[in-house]
Amino acid sequence: MTEPARILAADLALDSRSGWPAEMRLLIDSYPREVWSGHANLGAMAQFWLSRHDMFREIGTALEQAATGFRKGNVAAEDFRAWFPSRLQFFLQQLHAHHQIEDLHYFPVFQAAEARLARGFDVLESDHAMIHRQIDATVEAANSFLQTPVNHDALRGRAERYAGASDALLRLLTRHLGDEEDLIIPLILDRTEAGLGVG
């Protein structure tokens, strides 16, 4: 992303916004979520893309529930540590690949198709940068927790640190996924996948 795009996105930072402002809602209001699933223009690409978002939500929820179970004492440290690393790794690898495809392929196509939404795609790209900084923090906290012996006094504190970092990541991701869908799906429904060159 260019430096001017960062400046444009500053007032819509992912960790503080609550949806899109009026100027970004020019298609959202015409194509609300209630009409998406039955719409004739919701093609295979959009359906696959939404299914990926649902997968991120599902794995994120599972990770959050497992961490909560451990923090509440319902899950033993050994069981939690055996369960979450492979799932977290899969989640983060898939998220990284998904964002690369969006940044390098889809966002430029959508941005060129509708100039009035160009700022929104700068914002979404800025979101990816913020999410990936939080991914780094989550990985660092997870590694610290996993490297601590289960009987060590520091284990509980490091588990709390990991859970806090993971919770922050999931909050950012949840906001981002919803806003991204609200910008992109109405554009696809309005122009069709073929018309946009993504079908």
**Residues 193 and 43 sit within 8 Å (Cβ to Cβ):** yes
**Residues 169 and 138 sit within 8 Å (Cβ to Cβ):** yes
What is the rounded distance in angstroms from the CA atom of residue 168 to the CA atom of residue 165? 5
> Binning pLDDT at 50, 70 and 90, where does residue 5 land?
very low
Residue 6 has pLDDT above 60, yes or no: no
| DSSP 8-state class, residue 12 | G
CATH number at residue 101: 1.20.120.520
In this structure, is residue 142 part of a structural domain? Answer: yes
Report how far apart, in Å, the C-alpha atoms of 45 and of each of 29, 85, 179, 193 are.
22, 30, 18, 8
pLDDT one-digit tens code per residue, 9-30 = 467 999 999 899 988 998 999 9
Counting the structural domains of the chain, the total is 1
- The residue among 55, 84, 92 whose CA lies nearest residue 67 is 84
Question: Can you give the pLDDT at residue 174?
Answer: 97
| DSSP 8-state class, residue 53 | H
Q: How many residues does the chain have?
A: 199
Find the domain containing 87 and state its range.
37-196
pLDDT one-digit tens code per residue, 59-69 = 999 999 999 99
Question: Can you give the pLDDT at residue 171?
Answer: 96
In this structure, is residue 29 part of a structural domain? Answer: no
Residue 133 has pLDDT above 80, yes or no: yes
In this structure, is residue 11 part of a structural domain? Answer: no
In this structure, is residue 20 part of a structural domain? Answer: no
What is the rounded distance in angstroms from the CA atom of residue 84 to the CA atom of residue 86? 6
pLDDT one-digit tens code per residue, 90-120 = 999 999 999 999 999 999 999 999 999 999 9
SS3 content of the chain, % helix, strand, coil (to 5): 75, 0, 25
In this structure, is residue 141 part of a structural domain? Answer: yes
Compute φ and ψ for 53, nearest 5 degrees: -60, -40
pLDDT one-digit tens code per residue, 135-192 = 999 999 999 999 999 888 999 899 999 999 999 999 999 999 999 999 999 999 999 9
In this structure, is residue 165 part of a structural domain? Answer: yes
**pTM for the model:** 0.91
Question: Can you give the pLDDT at residue 11?
Answer: 72
